[in-house]
């Protein structure tokens, strides 16, 4: 299946959305829920709920906008777009599962997750911006800004001792 530029851009923007939401779940878990397996399960559960809500809301929105039933292809694209949210939630879940197996500490799992989130925000932000028609320079700036905002949120988390 060859993807159009608009679909690649759309899926990249959904990946950014997913990274932000998953990072919020991880930040919300903090040290009060220091069991890494619990954090992994929370991330996966949150991702499933978010994807289901996203699919349903996009379906309704498209149906209202078009004033007609959606084709099978339209529905498939909605599901594929939303699946990007779930896919980006797999890496933090996997990181915390490995931590629960004793491969490294929970604190290191948080750090790895946050670093991967910052990288993901930059990469997917850049791709989404490029496919939206922005220049490489503008896309790089937007990716950097997205990553810096993510870094600020993570630093605030640590500043307030969560």
Kindly state whether residue 21 falls inside one of the protein's structural domains.
Answer: yes
| Structural domain that includes position 102 | 5-156
Kindly state whether residue 114 falls inside one of the protein's structural domains.
Answer: yes
Those residues whose C-beta lies under 8 Å from the C-beta of residue 122, and which sit 6 or more positions away, are 143, 144, 146, 147
pLDDT for position 159? 79
Most confident of 28-32, 117-121, 152-156: 117-121
Summarised one tens digit per residue, pLDDT across range 23-51 is 888 988 876 667 999 999 999 999 999 99
The answer to whether residue 5 scores a pLDDT higher than 70 is no
Kindly state whether residue 91 falls inside one of the protein's structural domains.
Answer: yes
Question: What is the average per-residue pLDDT within 93-107?
Answer: 95
pLDDT band at residue 72 using 50, 70 and 90 as cut-offs: very high
Kindly state whether residue 37 falls inside one of the protein's structural domains.
Answer: yes
Those residues whose C-beta lies under 8 Å from the C-beta of residue 117, and which sit 6 or more positions away, are 19, 22, 23, 26, 92, 150, 154
Domain count across the chain: 1
Kindly state whether residue 138 falls inside one of the protein's structural domains.
Answer: yes
Kindly state whether residue 100 falls inside one of the protein's structural domains.
Answer: yes
Kindly state whether residue 14 falls inside one of the protein's structural domains.
Answer: yes
Kindly state whether residue 162 falls inside one of the protein's structural domains.
Answer: no
pLDDT for position 150? 85
């Amino acid at each position: 299946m060859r993807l159009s530029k608009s679909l690649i851009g759309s899926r990249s923007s959904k990946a950014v959305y997913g990274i932000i939401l998953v990072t919020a779940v991880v930040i919300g878990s903090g040290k009060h829920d220091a069991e890494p397996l619990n954090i992994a399960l929370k991330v996966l559960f949150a991702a499933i709920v978010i994807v289901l809500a996203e699919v349903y809301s996009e379906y309704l929105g498209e149906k209202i906008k078009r004033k007609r039933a959606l084709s099978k292809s339209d529905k498939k694209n909605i599901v594929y777009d939303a699946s990007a949210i779930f896919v980006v939630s797999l890496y933090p879940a996997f990181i915390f599962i490995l931590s629960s197996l004793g491969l490294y500490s929970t604190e290191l799992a948080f750090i790895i997750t946050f670093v991967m989130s910052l990288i993901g925000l930059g990469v997917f932000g850049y791709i989404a911006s490029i496919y939206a028609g922005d220049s490489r320079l503008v896309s790089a700036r937007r990716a950097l800004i997205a990553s810096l905002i993510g870094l600020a949120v993570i630093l605030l988390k640590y500043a307030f001792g969560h």
